[in-house]
């Protein structure tokens, strides 16, 4: 069970507006910029992101069918503003991992509670 679409809509309208102000600077958060696969429009969303070696890993709390995930996969990458640094990411890969091994232990436990086992792995360009 990933988080419901209703919660995603609420976050888009309410929570994300506040989170966008702090996400680019906080540890564990980032601002992801991606291009719409049909519209060509640029979108910015705050999210949790973790480093695993050289790669960046994002837990797909709304599942792999979220529009932003489809956009990143279709365009082959995105930009990330993390702790004040801009990084171009490429080679997006969907990974299904029920052990959640790429996540820190406390995050792994929360993701297990809500049933998240899909992740997006990206490499710096």
Tell me which residue of 59, 49, 46 sits closest to 16, measured CA to CA: 46
**Confidence band for 9, pLDDT divided at 50, 70 and 90:** low
Kindly report, residue by residue over 24-45, the tens digit of the pLDDT.
767 788 999 999 999 999 999 9
CATH 3.40.50.2300 for domain 5-124: no
Annotated domain spans of the chain: 5-124
Residue 29: the pLDDT is 86
The pTM of this model reads 0.84
pLDDT digits 0-9 by tens, 43-102: 999 898 999 999 999 999 989 999 999 999 999 999 999 888 899 999 999 999 999 999
Query: Is the CA virtual torsion 51, 6, 45, 31 positive or negative?
Result: negative
């Amino acid at each position: 069970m990933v988080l419901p679409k209703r919660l995603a809509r609420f976050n888009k309208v309410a929570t994300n507006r506040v989170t966008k102000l702090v996400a680019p600077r906080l540890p564990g958060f980032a601002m992801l910029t991606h291009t719409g696969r049909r519209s060509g429009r640029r979108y910015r969303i705050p999210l949790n992101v973790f480093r695993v070696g050289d790669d960046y890993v994002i837990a797909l709390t709304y599942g792999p069918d979220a529009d932003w995930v489809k956009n990143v996969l279709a365009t082959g990458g995105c930009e990330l503003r993390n702790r004040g640094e801009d990084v171009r990411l490429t080679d997006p890969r969907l990974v299904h991992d029920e052990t959640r091994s790429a996540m820190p232990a406390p995050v792994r436990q929360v993701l297990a509670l809500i049933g998240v086992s899909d992740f997006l792995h990206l490499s710096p360009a």
